[in-house]
Amino acid sequence: SENMAVECVGYLLEELRDDATFEQFKKDVEEANIFIGSLIFVQELAEKVTEVVQPLRDQLDAVLVFPSMPEVMRLNKVGSFTMKNLGQSKSVVADFMKKKKQDDGSSFEEGMLKLLRTLPKVLKFLPSDKAADARTFMMSFQYWLGGSPENLESLLLMVGQDYVGPVKESMEGKEKVTMEEPVLLPDKAIWHPVAPSIVFENNQQYFEWYNKEFCPDAGIDVKDAPTIGIILQKSHINTKDDTHYVSLISELEGRGARVVPIYSGGLDFSGPLEEYFYDANGKAIVDTIINLTGFALVGGPASQDHKKAAQVLKKLNKPYMCAVPLVFQSFEEWQASELGLHPIQVALQVSLPEIDGAIEPIIYAGREGATGRSVPLADRVNLLADRALKWSMLSNKPKQDKKIAITIFSFPPDKGNVGTAAYLDVFDSIKAVLGELKEQGYDIGDAPLDDKSAIMAQILDDPEAKISSPDLNVAYRMSTDEYYELTPYAEDLEENWGPAPGNLNSDGQNLLVYGKEFGNVFIGVQPSFGYEGDPMRLLFAKSASPHHGFSAYYTYLEKIFEADAVLHFGTHGSLEFMPGKQVGMSGTCYPDRLINSLPSAYLYAANNPSEATIAKRRSYSATVSYLTPPAENAGLYKGLKELKELISSYQGLRENEGRGPAIVNSIVSTSYTCNLDKDVDLPDLETYDAAKDTAENRDGIVGQIYSQIMQIESRLLPCGLHTVGVPPTAEEAIATLVNIAQLDRPEDKIEGLPRVIAASIGRDINDIYRGNNNGVLEDVELNTKVTDASRAAVRALVQQSTDSSGRVKEVKNMFDEVGGMIGAMMGAKKPWTKAIMDAGFSAVDEERLAPVFTYLEFCLKQIVADNELGGIMELLNGEFLMPAPGGDPIRNPDVLPTGRNMHALDPSSIPTQAAVEVSEGVVRKLLEKLKDENDGAFPESIAFTLWGTDNIKTYGESLAQVLALVGVRPVSDSLGRVNKVELIPLEELGRPRIDVVVSCSGVFRDLFINQMNLMDRGIKMAAEADEPLDQNFVRKHAMEQAEELNVSLREAACRVFSNSAGSYSANVGLAIENGGWEDEGQLQEQFLTRKGFAFNADKPGMMEQQADLFKSALKTVDVTFQNLDSSEISITDVSHYYDSDPTKVVEGLRDDKKKPMSLMADTTTANAQVRTLSETVRLDARTKLLNPKFYEGMLSTGYEGVREIQKRLRNTMGWSATAGEVDNFVFEDANDTFINDTEMQQRLLDTNPNAFRDMVTTFLEANGRGYWDTSDDNIERLQELYAEVEDRIEGI
């Protein structure tokens, strides 16, 4: 225009993190006439923008802000039009903001669009200037959405001539330019880059052109071609910034596929999907869907409707891939970053689509640094096209021709461990899967279906190993020539492993693939990491690449066996933990190279959503959840059972002066026999005589012992192993339901069953718990009585719903209903109310019980429902698998039924308000316990371990505990996302700020990097607070460290550590499981080297090696602390807990060499407790390793069961090595149970000789390393046994 010239300066939001850029931004805004902003949804950056623009708002001629956080939207100013009351008053726009989740799932932006469509019509009738200004804003928004150069030119002309002073003056008397109407594409349509008309508004028009003109020219066979539905963002088509779209479309068409690319103007794609992906008869046209926008299907970045999305996708029933364009970082930054995709983007564009049921977050496009235009990443686009077509093939290829590779794991690598998976009877489950495959028409050759041992025999050669055969069955020998030719990255492995074949999975000439083919099904054993037994490699700060044998296995699956899909069997293998970026793999990341184009289905335990999420993101696996085995109460046995009998006789004879004290004397001596003197303060056995004691003291002693054995009795333990497709019987569901019933669920207005029962006698359940924990005899009795009443009531509910075979009835029949109604009229009580009354609570209120029992009925249906085999088959048949959260079924019964595609949670939603409240309670108990032990003084520093799964199950409780100790509280922003922290003033806190050293698991780092950011900011805020040092230990220590290490206070306050990106665990577990460690010093060195990478909120793209800072922070630690959050996974079930335990590390670093106290918070029941680590180890040993109910349950599953028992023993020794908190009696009793009992010894040896040999080795090792002191006879017997087992295994 001759009236004005325009100069533009633009910024990507993320660039404002850089200080120099931010200063430049300030300058630019100061000199500007107009400020335009859009899509500013990151809290801390929104604050930066407001900080700059707010003070300059009056001097700017106009401020235009399109959909962003409310505080930025309030900056809008066009003449007299403002939004300054946004989010406060009852304005239309405020309502859009408030109703984040509107009934129709439409989000703020959808609302703005509706407003846009109606406003111009309304504005025409408003005469005032205000209307003109509002109209200008709305027109600007339309031009902005239109996005093309012509539209943007109109936008600048219009605002310039009406609002910019100098331009307005120069135009006085001249005729204003009249604006072109905004040129807008239809709101939704089908778009194809080479189509003659720009877009098609229905698919008949599109296919008329595409099938008849385009496909024949392009050589695409319309009849047989797979069809891929593609979802695009309209703004890229408006602005012609579409090279990345064109690139994928041409790759797919070049491979002979048809495409249907659709877009939508708003952020709800469910409508266009329903309109364009079906033909006139309502049949799906597409075989796979790829969403290229990177956003959730309904609602984009601002608010989502995941339920609606999943329903729409299930109706279409095709695989749904959500690929990701880089938004917040340039292509070069992503390539250089070890973490990969930017954390904000992971939260918006990976976590949220997963909740819709999306799979495979492959990055396919980046932005060019200079122009900001989208560019396709060629190798990623190829991979995406290959994988989409492989998924399509699963629904198109005849079943009898489809090839399926079932992959099982062996961990630690040994013949006695083939087919390891958490809580899964692997071979029994494989038998079930083979049966289902056969049923559906797959070719399974001569696979034996009658007995799991027949399948085992063919893979293991011989599970009894009666003949000399340390090797498994070899399915294929791959020559090194063939290996190098088919594995493009093989040479990159030589740096770590030398030239192929190496000595793992090889016979010296060839690489060996272990397993067995049955028809078109291959069952193979995934090789292990390869460095388990090598002390040097375990010390590396970053994990080594896979070895040649490992990559040969995946090369074989893809290129020689030519699998159509691979099914990874159980939790978990090593594929998803191979080195590479955290999220957003590049072509050089190992999980990506290994899985390459193979569709992967992964069977994962429902209680492990965090590692399942890593398998989804890093190895492109669609997960299928499986149930953990039904839990039972641990019960009592041997001396513990005798104690309970003695206590109940005492209760009857308390007043009897003669017999009462005599019984107390027996109780005390039996408690010593059971080693309870470690847990309860017992009087001296030699000198104590109850007859000389007061009745009150006698009650006190008995109360404490009673409380202790009831903790053991009621602890939940999973019995046996789960078989896929076999849901628990009703009887097996009772213990789980009792635990579900314990918890209060205020958000659903449900009171816990114990609370209602206690209320009927006028007591508060929390008081009863408190008395019980302190050993008050009448409260211990009452707590036991309440527990028994709950069990009886739940049993009554279950019996009413089960049939004669013990399975749950589908629906209660007519007679039940009518009978119930007549019963109610006659005043009859419900069976569960009656059960509670019979248990001694006659005043219980039936109406108050209704909510919890309605809920329990729903939960019972969920527990026994089953879609595990169905879920596996849906994936293998190329269908859409419904999403479901993972986690603890007791806290969150929505985890059930299993057999669905598991996802974690929206990371910006934690910690929740409820989690913050619970954590404050735990922190209070923790500090009380510590003050009592320490003459009333507070600890100065606590070392914390954070786990991914725990924080998903508890919605961030342990994360909130860290913040609570430091005295900061999380604050949610105007969209309800938690991404700010504020300091709690010392007056309100009422105690000093406690310093923390947080060690995050690699999995936590992958899933919750935003929360690491919160903690880091909160801790630094505390360190920088000007407060007295005796009231702020964070500041006190940070100042000392800043001086010692010569760094700034802020750097010295780094307290959040983890592994380097792409590495997991301290490898302490690996060393202990494989026995390849010299001494404890090596284990401590591994912990410090591998876990010493600091997260720093000031440079969020990387984890920095900060071993000195890590050591210096650990040196001040007085207490080490971990959380146990679910009954299924306790501290001896897995090696993770001791792998990350810093107890002895801290002892070695402290100047006074004093061992810190080790504590465990146990929130597995409604009665949350803080115990010492040694108490927890004893409790675990008594309820599992030494408990006949546990080991007999395991042995009933045969081969796998022996391994499970040995694993518990080995993990118990792990605690000796890292913390030294295992009592001698634990090893002694285990030796009596499994070794000195000749009948038991024989059973173990016959069932799984390899695992039994490991058990003997573990006992000898525990003694040799000084953790177990025992008689020479015991050691000799073990040494003889070892020689005997060796001979047996070698077949002599």
Confidence of residue 179 (pLDDT cuts 50, 70, 90): confident
Give the DSSP H/E element, type plus range, for residue 536: helix 535-539
- The region of weakest confidence among 111-115, 858-862, 890-894, 1089-1093 is 111-115
Could you read off the pLDDT of 518-574 as tens digits, one per residue?
A: 999 999 999 988 776 676 676 677 777 899 999 999 999 999 999 999 999 988 888
- DSSP state letter for 985: P
Side chain identity, residue 741: A
Note the Cα 747 to chain centre separation in Å: 22
Say what the pLDDT of residue 509 is.
92
Q: In this predicted structure, what is the pLDDT of residue 821? A: 63
- Name the H helices within 57-91: 70-73
Rounded Cα–Cα distance for residues 881 and 1020 (Å): 44
Written as one letter, the residue type at 1255 is M
For residues 588 and 125, the model is more confident at 588
What distance in Å separates the CA atoms of residue 670 and residue 322, rounded to the nearest whole number?
Answer: 62
843: which 2 tokens?
A: 């005043």
**Residue 599 and residue 581: Cα distance in Å, rounded?**
20
Nearest to 898 by CA among 910, 913, 888, 907: 888
pLDDT reading at 644 higher than 80? yes
Closest CA to 634 of 742, 739, 743, 704: 739
Dihedral sign (CA 987, 988, 989, 991): positive
Report how far residue 598's alpha carbon sits from residue 559's, in angstroms, rounded to the nearest whole number.
Answer: 10
The per-residue pLDDT for 101 is 39
With a cut of 50, say whether residue 91 has pLDDT above it.
no
- The residue type of 661 is P
**Residue in 486, 482, 493, 481 with CA at minimum distance from that of residue 590:** 493
pLDDT, averaged across the chain: 87
Work out the pLDDT band at 411, boundaries 50, 70, 90: low
Confidence of residue 1129 (pLDDT cuts 50, 70, 90): confident
pLDDT digits (tens, 9 = 90+) for 966-1012: 999 998 876 677 888 999 999 999 999 999 999 998 888 888 888 89
pLDDT digit string, tens, across residues 586-618 = 999 999 999 999 999 999 999 888 889 999 999
Read off the tokens for 1275.
Answer: 């050691």
Q: Is 1222 exposed, middle or buried (0-12, 13-18, 19+ CB in 10 A)?
A: buried
Q: Which DSSP category does 210 fall into?
A: I
The residue ranges of DSSP E strands in 379-435, in sequence order, are 404-408
Length of the chain, please? 1292
Helices (H), 397-507: 426-439, 452-460, 480-486, 494-497
Closest C-alpha to 860, from 822, 893, 823, 818 = 893
Distance, in Å, from the CA atom of 191 to the CA atom of 260, rounded to the nearest integer, reads 8
Residue 969's identity, in one-letter code, is: R
Rounded Cα–Cα distance for residues 364 and 361 (Å) = 9
The pLDDT value recorded for residue 732 is: 82
The tokens 């990341």 sit on which residue? 589
The per-residue b/e assignment along 626-658, b for 16 or more CB within 10 angstroms, e otherwise, is bbbbbbbbbbbeeebebbbebbeebeeebeeee
**Residue 717 and residue 1184 in contact, taking contact as beta carbons nearer than 8 Å:** yes
- For every residue of 1113-1178, DSSP letters joined together read HHTT-SEEEEEE--SSS-TTT-SHHHHT--HHHHHHHSTT-PPPEEEEEE-SSSS-EEEEHHHHHH
pLDDT band at 353 (very low <50, low <70, confident <90, very high): very high
- The span from the CA of 162 to the CA of 215, in Å, is 51
Please state, as a whole number, how many other Cβ atoms lie within 10 Å of the Cβ of residue 879.
17
Which of 893, 875, 877, 895 is CA-nearest to residue 885? 895
Residues 6+ apart with CB under 8 A from 203: 190, 260, 275, 276, 279, 285
* pLDDT at residue 610, as a whole number: 87
Give 843's DSSP letter. T
Count other Cβ atoms within 10 Å, centred on residue 821. Answer: 10
pTM for this one? 0.84
Query: Positive or negative, the Cα torsion across 13, 19, 22, 24?
Result: negative
Q: What is the tens place of the pLDDT at every residue in 490-533?
A: 999 999 899 989 888 888 899 999 999 999 999 999 998 877 66
Max CA pair span of the chain: 117
| pLDDT for 390 beyond 50 | yes
* Amino acid occupying residue 303: S
Q: Find out whether 1066 and 1100 touch, Cβ atoms under 8 Å.
A: no
pLDDT band of 300, cuts 50, 70, 90? low
Q: What tokens were used for 1250?
A: 């390899």
Give the model's confidence band at 121: pLDDT under 50 very low, under 70 low, under 90 confident, else very high. low
pLDDT value at position 79?
A: 87
Rounded Cα distance, 704 and 780, in Å: 8
Q: What three-state secondary structure class fits 223?
A: coil
Cα torsion 417, 420, 422, 425 to 10°: value is -100
Mean pLDDT of 845-857: 91
Is residue 410 within 8 Å of residue 569, measured between CB atoms? no
Structure tokens at 108: 């703020």
The Cα angle at residue 389 between residues 386 and 391, in degrees rounded to 5? 110
What DSSP letter does each residue of 114-130 carry, written as one string?
Answer: HHHHHHHHHHTT--SHH
Long-range contacts made by residues 1021-1029, C-beta under 8 angstroms, separation at least 24? 1021/968, 1021/981, 1021/982, 1021/983, 1022/966, 1022/967, 1022/968, 1022/983, 1022/993, 1022/1053, 1023/1049, 1023/1050, 1023/1052, 1023/1053, 1024/1049, 1024/1050, 1024/1053, 1025/983, 1025/993, 1027/986, 1027/993
Q: Is 830 left (phi over 0), alpha (psi -120 to 50) or beta?
A: beta
Rg (CA), the chain: 33
Give the other-Cβ count within 10 Å of 1111's Cβ.
15
If 0-12 CB within 10 Å is exposed, 13-18 middle and 19+ buried, where does residue 428 land?
Answer: buried
pLDDT digits (tens, 9 = 90+) for 709-760: 999 998 888 878 899 988 887 778 888 899 899 988 887 889 999 999 999 9
Q: Quote the CA–CA distance of 542 and 1108 in Å, as a whole number.
A: 17
CA distance to 625, 631, 872, 882, per residue, from 899 (Å): 5, 19, 7, 9
